[in-house]
Amino acid sequence: MLLKTNYWRQQAMELSEQLVQMRRHIHKYPELGYREVETARYLTDLLREEGIEVLEKVGGTGLVATIIGAAPGRTIALRADLDALPIHEKTGKPYASCISGISHACGHDAHSAMLAGTAILLQRHRRRIAGTVKCIFQPAEECPPLGGVRPMIEDGVLDNPQVDAIYGLHVTADLPVGMIGIASGQAMAASDRVEIKIVGSGGHGSAPQQAVDAVLVAAHTVVALQSIVSRNTSPHQAAVLGVGVLKAGYRYNVIADTALLDCTVRTLDIHTRQLMQDRIEQIVEGITKAMGARYEMRYVAGYPPAANCQEQVNQVVQASEATLGSESVTWFERPSLTGEDFAHFLEHIPGAFFWLGSRLSDGRKQHPVHHPGFDVDEDVLPVGVAIYCRLIEQELFR
Ligand SMILES: [Zn+2]
Ligand SMILES: [Zn+2]
């Protein structure tokens, strides 16, 4: 029988102070991907103090906290990410980052604190659990193309016992605290990078006939690349091609010999992903050839597209409605074009990823993730814990 609907809200609320403490500690001492040594140590100590089994150094700096139920059963995984970003924090908060140039501008501090809180509560309820809960704290979510999930999978995080399903969440300023957002089916995009080097031939600005102007070739290339999304991909299928960096030239009266383009490509299915890659190369090849230049191109496949599984989506919706009320779920009709390392888990096992409303409610200006002023409303912490605990109750409680 399921527990009373407000049970986990109450349990999580009682943990509020500790959740805030954990979140602020992690926030104050942020670490970049693959270097989350102190964050991992802090969480390990804290979880072990609760009697939780913690496996360290999984896939580098990753951690797995395992709650072993009193009876055998299935294994469900919950996931948080540990890493911060190379962004100098400007929230002005007393718990702001102590490390110059690095901050938790994506809310991974909140994710880690919520998962630690969940592990603590589930450990206290382990007698009622039939099965195992693996709380996975992954490194380097912000570090495509490798990320932190792949090294953890290679290190066996999904085996022994084998994980049957996985859930992940991300805070979002698009929703207030107490709301979640979820998409059924396609949830997040493949996020790839293309580096293009155009090689012309330099010369004196007064004698263009003796040179091949890399700036002009690059300019034509940037414009022509935009025709892929407008003319080659289906209007019904989302795709993004953005040139984020264009570098060329030395001086106003010197013809540039090379130009560099660094681009992001976002797609939602493998067919469009391949089409984008092929068309980019054809366009770059054609334009450089026509204008007498050469090119070098490197297409770096980042995180794959992520699709939620219906069964796990239903579980998340049920958990959210039980803990936050029947109006708490916002259906995201369209997938997000952001990329997420969680997608690597979904290539192996069923699961669902959802968005947890964390918009500030104290009158401060809300900045988006990856902004130096980004912050979460800390009331989100017990909300995330309650949903995670309820999910495990639905899946594994006897
Ligand atoms: Zn991020
Ligand atoms: Zn993030």
Q: What is the pTM of this model?
A: 0.91
pLDDT score recorded for residue 93: 94
pLDDT score recorded for residue 1: 66
Q: Where are the domains of the chain?
A: 7-187+305-396, 190-303
Q: What spacing in Å lies between the alpha carbon of 20 and ligand 2's midpoint?
A: 19
Check pLDDT > 90 for residue 4.
Answer: no
Q: What spacing in Å lies between the alpha carbon of 284 and ligand 1's midpoint?
A: 30
Query: Which of 141, 142, 340, 379 is labelled catalytic?
Result: 141
Question: How far is residue 12's CA from residue 381's CA, in Å, rounded to a whole number?
Answer: 8
- The reply to whether 83 belongs to the active site is yes
- The reply to whether 31 belongs to the active site is no
Average pLDDT over residues 225-250: 96
Sheet containing 258-267: give its strands across: 239-248, 258-267, 190-199, 294-303
φ/ψ (deg, to 5) at 162: -65, 135
pLDDT score recorded for residue 235: 92
Q: What spacing in Å lies between the alpha carbon of 156 and ligand 1's midpoint?
A: 25
Question: How far is residue 382's CA from residue 388's CA, in Å, rounded to a whole number?
Answer: 10
- Determine the length of the chain: 398
pLDDT digits (tens, 9 = 90+) for 174-216: 999 999 999 999 999 999 999 999 999 999 999 999 999 999 9
Q: Which residues make beta-bridge pairs with 169?
A: 354
Residue pair 255/203 in contact (Cβ under 8 Å)? The answer is: yes
Check pLDDT > 90 for residue 2.
Answer: no
Residue of 121, 86, 113 lying closest to 100 (CA atoms): 86
Q: What spacing in Å lies between the alpha carbon of 169 and ligand 1's midpoint?
A: 12
**In angstroms, what CA-CA distances link 99 with 115, 236, 270, 370?**
24, 44, 39, 16
CATH topology agreement for domains 7-187+305-396 and 190-303: no
Query: Which of 36, 83, 257, 375 is labelled catalytic?
Result: 83
CATH architecture group of domain 7-187+305-396:
3-Layer(aba) Sandwich (3.40)
Q: What is the mean pLDDT of the chain?
A: 96
pLDDT score recorded for residue 5: 75
What six digits make up the tokens of 105? 């501008």
pLDDT score recorded for residue 205: 97
CATH of 190-303, one of 3.20.20.110, 3.90.1150.10, 3.30.70.360, 3.30.70.860: 3.30.70.360
Q: What spacing in Å lies between the alpha carbon of 5 and ligand 1's midpoint?
A: 32
pLDDT digits (tens, 9 = 90+) for 121-137: 999 999 999 999 999 99
For the CA of 81, the nearest ligand? 2
pLDDT score recorded for residue 303: 95
pLDDT digits (tens, 9 = 90+) for 12-27: 999 999 999 999 999 9
